């Protein structure tokens, strides 16, 4: 009798805890989106204050990720969920980690923006901003698809990543040409390369969020090979054998964290 009486309470509590995790992820998504948007505007407008705000906001996203992870682990340990609920919790943990990574990359873009703002304007900035806005759209659509469990919208995001790749290759070519024509701009161009690569990586993370949506809704991974654009300058393709792969701030994330801890 006691088990039957407690049943509705257990289900209700579990649903509330799931809603709490979803709310935490929604908050993380909002912070990550805003960091990316502000980082792009900061670069485009050479806005030092806005770039500094993005860098500072990363601490909040790190804290939210830790809280989300603790909530998920506790819920799995206490409730032993199965089927859809378990998939949702596993995907939620992966999503929180992915959004934290988006924040790291946005912070790195903002830091590059600080460096760019202290030098002369770079003509290629408008192309980087255009790529940034498309990346923003991908991230926003991926988050909306996850929130609504919209498989069709998730697959659309997944397929559109090829557009980000195309923009990245275009920006890469422009930057290399810019630096070859005027070697004095190599430092500025290098910052631009890092920014473009970080935007491309954020696009990849948006694609991963779309794959998580598919996994939660369908119950199995999306195994189809993702569409990709032609290999070009940015992938180390034959078009630019000397350039090789573009740099990325991915490897520098641990250094960023160390700097934050020391400050």
Residues 9-38 have pLDDT tens digits of 456 888 899 999 999 999 999 999 999 999
d(CA 220, CA 105): 29
List the end-to-end C-alpha distance of the chain, in Å, as a whole number: 58
Sign of CA dihedral 103, 105, 108, 109: negative
* Per-residue model confidence as pLDDT tens digits over 177-229: 999 999 988 999 999 999 999 999 999 999 999 999 999 999 999 887 776 66
Say how many residues make up the chain: 263
What pLDDT is stored for residue 15 in this prediction?
86
> What is the percentage of the chain residues whose pLDDT exceeds 70?
82
Options 3.40.50.300, 1.20.58.220, 2.60.120.10, 1.10.645.10; CATH for 8-248 is 1.20.58.220
d(CA 128, CA 205): 18
* 3-class secondary-structure state, position 208: helix
d(CA 219, CA 226): 19
d(CA 92, CA 209): 10
Q: How many CA atoms are closer than 13 Å to the CA of 116, on its beta-carbon side?
A: 31
d(CA 211, CA 204): 11
What residue ranges do the domains of the chain occupy? 8-248
Sign of CA dihedral 17, 82, 63, 50: negative
DSSP annotation of 118 reads T
256's tokens: 């960023």
Residue range 73-80: mean pLDDT, rounded:
91
* Per-residue model confidence as pLDDT tens digits over 38-62: 999 999 999 999 999 999 999 999 9
The angle formed by the CA atoms of residues 45, 49 and 55, to the nearest 5 degrees, is 105
Q: Is the pLDDT of residue 4 over 60?
A: no
d(CA 45, CA 43): 6
Q: How many helices (H) and strands (E) does the chain have?
A: 7, 0
d(CA 149, CA 217): 6
């Amino acid at each position: 009798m006691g088990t039957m009486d407690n049943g509705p309470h257990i289900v209700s509590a579990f649903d509330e805890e799931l809603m709490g995790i979803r709310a935490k992820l929604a908050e993380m998504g909002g912070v990550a989106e805003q960091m990316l948007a502000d980082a792009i505007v900061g670069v485009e407008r050479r806005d030092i204050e806005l770039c500094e705000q993005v860098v500072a906001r990363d601490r909040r996203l790190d804290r939210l990720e830790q809280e989300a992870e603790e909530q998920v682990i506790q819920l799995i340990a206490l409730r032993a969920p199965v089927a859809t609920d378990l998939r949702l919790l596993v995907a939620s943990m992966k999503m929180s980690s992915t959004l934290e990574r988006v924040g790291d990359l946005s912070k790195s873009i903002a830091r590059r923006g600080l460096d760019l703002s202290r030098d002369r304007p770079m003509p290629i900035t408008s192309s980087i901003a255009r790529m940034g806005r498309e990346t923003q759209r991908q991230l926003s659509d991926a988050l909306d698809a996850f929130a609504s469990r919209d498989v069709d919208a998730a697959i659309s995001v997944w397929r559109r990543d090829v557009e980000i790749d195309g923009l990245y290759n275009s920006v890469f070519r422009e930057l290399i040409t810019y630096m070859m024509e005027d070697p004095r701009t190599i430092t500025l161009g290098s910052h631009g390369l890092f920014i473009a690569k970080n935007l491309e990586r954020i696009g990849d993370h948006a694609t991963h969020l779309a794959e998580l949506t598919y996994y939660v809704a369908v119950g199995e991974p999306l195994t189809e090979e993702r569409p990709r654009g032609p290999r070009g300058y940015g992938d180390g393709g034959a078009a630019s054998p000397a350039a090789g792969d573009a740099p990325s701030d991915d490897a520098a994330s641990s250094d960023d964290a160390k700097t934050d801890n020391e400050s």
